[in-house]
Amino acid sequence: MQFAISISGEGRYNYIAWGLRMEEAFKRIKEINENKISERLKIFKNLGDRTRYEVVRLIASGVTSTKEIAKALGVTSATISYHINNLLQSKIIKIDRTENRYGYVVDHKLLEEIISGLKEDLKTPQK
């Protein structure tokens, strides 16, 4: 699908002309931006829960067994499974298969994108 937009500043008047599908393109851009904000909110909500935050911290340190995580946090494996499912749905962590074993890893790239998006939303100067 092709889109075209033209801006002309000849003479006394400025003109903006766009193709038939530009309105559709603008709506799609707005949807994408709203989805990014919703994704950020979902991630921040998940990280705002202390248990989930601790689960992410443990996974980042290399602990991937639900039993080990449960033991470290003093909760049941079922509770950890519940929190891991939420973290998987929000894509903060992902499943990693290494040598016939499954484990979890933190999606650092996604978290960097989310933090970058937050800085952009808040107009924080980049270093």
Task: Write the pLDDT tens digit of every residue in 95-110.
Answer: 998 878 888 999 999 9
Q: Which residue's structure tokens are 């494996």?
A: 77
Give the per-residue pLDDT at 15.
72
CATH architecture classification, 33-121: Orthogonal Bundle (1.10)
Task: Write the pLDDT tens digit of every residue in 49-77.
Answer: 999 999 999 999 999 899 999 999 999 99
> How many Å apart are CA 56 and CA 66, to the nearest integer?
12
CA dihedral over 15, 16, 17, 23, signed as positive or negative: negative
Return all residues near 1 (Cβ < 8 A) that are at least 6 apart: 21
Domain boundaries, the chain: 33-121
What residue type is 5 in one-letter code? I
